[in-house]
Amino acid sequence: MRKFFSLFVLLSLVTSLYSCQPMLGGCYNIQMGLGAYVNNQFFNPSTLTNVGGYVTPRLAWWNKRWHTGLEANFGIAKVKGDSTKALYFFENDKHTNSGIINASIFGGVNLGTLQSPIFLDMLLFTHFNIYDQSTRSIENGYLYTGMQLSHIVYMSDFWNLEWGLGYGYMLLGFYDINMSANIPYPYTIPTRVQSQPNHLLKAYTTLTMGRTYYMRLNIMYFTPQDSKSFALYSDNMKFSHKGDIMVGLEFGWNLKY
C-alpha cells in the first residue's frame, strides 16, 4: 500500500509538471525577469556600444486554438567605445548613460496542442534608444509590424524549452536630435528626422527549470536604417545608420496567482 501511495504521489507530481496553469479555459504564463544586455548602434563612421541591465514583465495566454500576450523591456546602460560621430558636428561629444524601451503585443493561432503548443502570431513591436540629454545626442524610435513563430517543448519532468523567431517591417521611424548641437547661425537642423524603412529580425530561446525559474537569451537585429535627407549648410544630408544589434541574457521567475 505504501509503495502504491508513493507511486501515486510521483505520478501526480509528473502530471502537475506537464499541466498548464489554468485561466479562462486555457493556460497562462506570467514572468518577471532581470537581465544584462549589449546594444551596438553602427553609425558611420563610429559605433555606440551600450552595456547595461533591464527588467522584463511578460504575460501570455493560450488555449487549443488561440494565443495572445505582451511583454516589455526597460533598460539602463553605460555608453562604451567611440564618441558620437553620426554627423561631424558631434565628433567631440561623448555620451555616458543610455536607456532602451522595447514593447510588443502579439496574438494568433495555436497550431499544436494545449500541452505542446506551436504559436503563429501577428506582432506589433516598438523599440526606443534614449541617451542622456547633458550632451548633444541622437535618439531613435521605431514601430514594426510582422509575424512570430514560437514553440514550447516539454523535454522532461524538470526542463521545458521554448524558442521563437520573428520578423517585423517598420511602419514608423524617427531620429530626435538634441538641439544643444552647436550649429553655426543662421543654419538650423530639424529636431526630428524620419527614418528610411527597415526590417527587424528577432529570436529567443527560454529554458524553464522546475516550472519556477527560467533563463532566456534574446537577440534582435535591425537592418540599416538611414534617415531621410534633410537640408544643412545648403546641402542634403542624412544620418548614416548601418544597423543595430541587441543581445540580452535574462533570468527570472514564472509567477502564479
Of residues 241 and 33, more confidence is placed in 33
What is the Cα–Cα distance from 98 to 91, expressed in whole angstroms? 18
CA distances (Å), origin 54, targets 34, 144, 199, 247: 6, 21, 23, 12
Q: Where are the alpha helices (DSSP H) in 71-208?
A: none
Question: Counting beta carbons within 10 angstroms of the beta carbon of residue 6, is it exposed (0 to 12), middle (13 to 18) or buried (19 or more)?
Answer: exposed
Convert the pLDDT of each residue in 80-135 to its tens digit.
755 444 444 454 455 678 889 999 999 999 999 988 899 999 999 999 988 776 55
Yes or no: say if 173 and 200 are a contact pair by the CB < 8 Å rule. Answer: no
Domain 30-254 top-level CATH class: mainly beta
pLDDT at 139 (0 to 100)? 77
Q: What would the DSSP string read from start to end of 25-86?
A: TEEEEEEEEEEEEEEEEEESS-EEEEEEEEEEEEEEEE-SSEEEEEEEEEEEEEEEESPP-S
Q: List own/partner pairs for 131-134 with CB under 8 A and 24 or more apart.
A: 131/79, 131/95, 131/97, 131/98, 131/99, 131/178, 132/95, 132/96, 132/97, 132/98, 133/178, 134/96
Yes or no: say if 152 and 117 are a contact pair by the CB < 8 Å rule. Answer: yes
Res. 13: pLDDT tops 50: no
Nearest to 148, CA basis, from 216, 220, 196, 211: 220
What is the Cα–Cα distance from 51 to 22, expressed in whole angstroms? 38
What is the Cα–Cα distance from 172 to 61, expressed in whole angstroms? 28
- 192 pLDDT tier (thresholds 50, 70, 90): low
Q: Which residues make beta-bridge pairs with 244?
A: 41, 222
- 198 pLDDT tier (thresholds 50, 70, 90): confident
Minimum mean pLDDT range among 101-115, 204-218, 239-253: 239-253
Grid cell for residue 206: 527560454
Convert the pLDDT of each residue in 153-179 to its tens digit.
988 878 899 999 999 999 988 877 665
- 253 pLDDT tier (thresholds 50, 70, 90): very high
What is the Cα–Cα distance from 250 to 104, expressed in whole angstroms? 17
Minimum mean pLDDT range among 55-59, 191-195, 212-216, 224-228: 224-228
pLDDT at 255 (0 to 100)? 86
What type of residue is 174?
F
Convert the pLDDT of each residue in 23-40 to its tens digit.
677 898 999 999 999 988
